[in-house]
Chain A
Amino acid sequence: ETGVTQSPTHLIKTRGQQVTLRCSSQSGHNTVSWYQQALGQGPQFIFQYYREEENGRGNFPPRFSGLQFPNYSSELNVNALELDDSALYLCASSFGGTSLYEQYFGPGTRLTVT
């Protein structure tokens, strides 16, 4: 059984640029959730994709967007990067389109915005 993988591991971008982060869900899972974890904080929910549709969203602006593909892998896109977007971005996969199911996290992508 393959676990959740994310790419890239680390990324450095300049303010105003755009970034795409990728996540492959665990085998058999159809739901992917994305979280932002700032230094010293717990993860904050960005949004969730279930069967290729956005299924729920946290308190993040529209410049945070995503996609889920037929194989249930997912992308997180962030436009017009700001310094405060520097964080660890985590994706979590689960089966069933709610947070009530156990979520399995990937190792994260560390994004630094300068």
Chain B
Amino acid sequence: TQLLEQSPQFLSIQEGENLTVYCNSSSVFSSLQWYRQEPGEGPVLLVTVVTGGEVKKLKRLTFQFGDARKDSSLHITAAQTGDTGLYLCAGPSGGGADGLTFGKGTHLIIQP
């Protein structure tokens, strides 16, 4: 079973600060996805990374896929209160119809 470990588990910072959260595995993933989930809602897909070393930017969010495709990071620049939420990374469990394996997520709180 492929596992995804996310760190930190909880992070609380002030608005305007920068932060990075991590997603690590001992297994190689063909792709990784990042989701954000707000209370009472389902996860919303932010990005999919598929190539080792790939960097994708989504406004103030920068996503990187490790060269060996075993890890990924999410960096947020100048965090805003609207960035508050649970950030989940996920990858294909078995590459086929085996659903997604999710990490436990990073609970991010941006304080005004």
Q: Contact string, A44-55, partner B, CB cutoff 8 A, digits 1/0?
A: 111110100001
Given A56-B96, A99-B92, A100-B95, the answer on whether A108 and B101 have CB atoms closer than 8 Å is no
The answer to whether A99 and B102 touch (CB under 8 A), given A90-B42, A105-B43, A108-B42, is no
Q: Which residues of B contact A (CB under 8 A)?
A: 4, 6, 30-31, 33, 35, 40-45, 48, 88, 90, 92-105
Give the one of B6, B97, B103 with max A CB within 10 A.
B97
- Enumerate 14 A-B pairs (CB-CB under 8 Å) in ascending A order: A35-B99, A35-B102, A41-B104, A42-B90, A44-B102, A56-B94, A56-B99, A58-B98, A98-B92, A98-B95, A99-B96, A99-B100, A107-B41, A108-B42
Q: What's the dominant secondary structure at chain B's contact region? A: loop
- Judge whether B99 and A99 touch: CB under 8 Å: yes
Instruction: Report the bound CA distance from A48 to B93 in whole Å.
Output: 12
Chain B residues whose C-beta falls within 8 Å of the C-beta of A66 in the assembled complex: none
Q: Once the chains bind, are B98 and A103 in contact (CB under 8 Å)? A: no
The answer on a CB contact under 8 Å between A106 and B98 is no
